Amino acid sequence: MSFDLAARLAERRTADLFRQRPLLQSPQGPEVQVDGQRLLAFCSNDYLGLANHPDVLAALQQGAQRWGVGGGASHLVVGHSTPHHELEEALADFTGRPRALLFSTGYMANLAAVTALVGQGDSVMEDRLNHASLLDAGLLSGARFSRYLHNDAASLAQRLNKASGNTLVVTDGVFSMDGDVADLAALSATAKAHGAWLMVDDAHGFGPLGAQGGGLVEACGLSVDDVPVLVGTLGKGFGTAGAFVAGSDELIETLIQFARPYIYTTSQPPAVACATLASLQLLRSEHWRREHLQALIQQFRQGASELGLRLMDSHTPIQPIVVGDSARALRLSALLRERGVMVGAIRPPTVPAGSARLRVTLSAAHSHAQVARLLDALASSWSLLNQEMPIDA
């Protein structure tokens, strides 16, 4: 017996679900070089335009000169450098939590938090549309795993009534494929009423949301008692790399002692922590970035609505255009690319069957003229798509 990998790949191609990696040949920015073509990009999570900011670049270069490149070892051996420690203290202050713990990736942070807090005999409740890393963490924890209806506190309450042991409720803050936000106040109240903890992965909220860029939790005015476990990533609004968990001293110490993805991995390069300290300062002080981004979101939503495009209930930088059929989504993306605009087509299993979409993401680095260009390209591409591939065909 052998693995029939060719058949699996062929099946994915036939279903219009085969994925390919675009080759980025320039730094992140509104205009990029991809596969030899100059494109106006609306598919990056660099929401505040900090990934190529000169201050962040300078901090990275200075950090590498001072601290070298590699982390060298795990944090618990000799890999916990001064920049890592300073960044953790800065993130704790930023989030209003007693402590924060740095991770190399958001996937690792989510796996670490869930699997360190619950196990056999416990319960974990997750939103049906949570990020794959959260769902994987719930399954790998060994706890009783249940998924409640999307953003539905009543559905959560029904499942909490059947929970056993320590119970963890897990949700995205901003849902990465729909762009909508969790009803954190209702979820927190429901979790508290059942003696459960709420964990929020606000990967896409930090930077764009909140008066200080502190994400959805800040925007909702929730404390560490309301959201005991707060996760954020640094590769999106911060423009660098890595992730963190923020919470009580007891939570962070528990992760240090029991979280396998933290214990058994090399620390991130200390120079990246230096860069993140610089981007954090920009994120907190340059409020115009959030204000400009909100203006771009309003411009796009109004223009897309006038074109008759099907948008979702999102007022975040994530603006999905629902197409439905995977082949149509791929074709629409290709038509935009022919017009010099890059927007990725998102298909199952990343999103539910029948809900393939173009995931437009906006950045504070975009201009109003560039958003207008996107809308013009969408108008002509959408019209041509409906001629080539009518919905009733």
Is there a domain that residue 6 lies in?
A: no
Same domain, 193 and 216: yes
Same domain, 120 and 149: yes
Domain that holds residue 169: 54-285
Same domain, 247 and 299: no
DSSP 238-261: TSS--EEEEE-HHHHHHHHHH-HH
Is there a domain that residue 323 lies in?
A: yes
Question: For residues 28 and 4, what is the distance between their CA atoms, to the nearest angstrom?
Answer: 38
* CA atoms within a 13 Å half-sphere pointing along the CA-CB vector of 40: 21
Query: How many structural domains are present in the chain?
Result: 2
Residue 72 CB partners (closer than 8 Å, separation 6+): 78, 79, 266, 267
Is there a domain that residue 9 lies in?
A: no
Same domain, 173 and 313: no
CATH code for position 354: 3.90.1150.10
The DSSP bridge partners found for residue 74 are 266
- Residue 13 clears pLDDT 50, i.e. is over it: yes
When pLDDT is cut at 50, 70 and 90, the band that residue 392 belongs to is low
pLDDT for 177: 94
Is there a domain that residue 111 lies in?
A: yes
Q: Of 251, 285, 319, which residue sits at a domain end?
A: 285
Pairing state of beta strands 123-127 and 167-172?
parallel
Question: For residues 76 and 53, what is the distance between their CA atoms, to the nearest angstrom?
Answer: 32
Total-model pTM: 0.95
pLDDT for 391: 77
Active site residue 204: yes
Same domain, 111 and 39: no
Same domain, 32 and 109: no
| Residue 205 contacts residue 180 (beta carbons within 8 Å) | no
Catalytic residue among 53, 131, 236, 292: 236
Residue 254 CB partners (closer than 8 Å, separation 6+): 116, 117
Same domain, 190 and 301: no
What mean pLDDT is predicted for residues 26-54? 97
When pLDDT is cut at 50, 70 and 90, the band that residue 40 belongs to is very high
Q: Residues of the chain with pLDDT > 90: what percent?
A: 95
Same domain, 332 and 263: no
Same domain, 29 and 92: no
What mean pLDDT is predicted for residues 114-124? 98
- Residue 393 clears pLDDT 70, i.e. is over it: no
Same domain, 136 and 227: yes
Q: Of 285, 313, 335, which residue sits at a domain end?
A: 285
What mean pLDDT is predicted for residues 16-21? 90
pLDDT for 1: 58
CATH code for position 180: 3.40.640.10
DSSP state of 91: H
Q: Of 285, 310, 326, which residue sits at a domain end?
A: 285
Same domain, 139 and 272: yes
Is there a domain that residue 220 lies in?
A: yes
Same domain, 140 and 262: yes
Catalytic residue among 75, 131, 204, 292: 204
Is there a domain that residue 1 lies in?
A: no
Active site residue 81: no
Is there a domain that residue 4 lies in?
A: no
Active site residue 162: no
When pLDDT is cut at 50, 70 and 90, the band that residue 44 belongs to is very high
Is there a domain that residue 3 lies in?
A: no
**pLDDT, tens digit (0-9, with 9 covering 90-100), for 275-309:** 999 999 999 999 999 999 999 999 999 999 999 99
Pairing state of beta strands 243-247 and 229-233?
antiparallel
DSSP 3-state of 184: helix
**pLDDT, tens digit (0-9, with 9 covering 90-100), for 134-171:** 999 999 999 999 999 999 999 999 999 999 999 999 99
Catalytic residue among 176, 279, 314, 333: 176
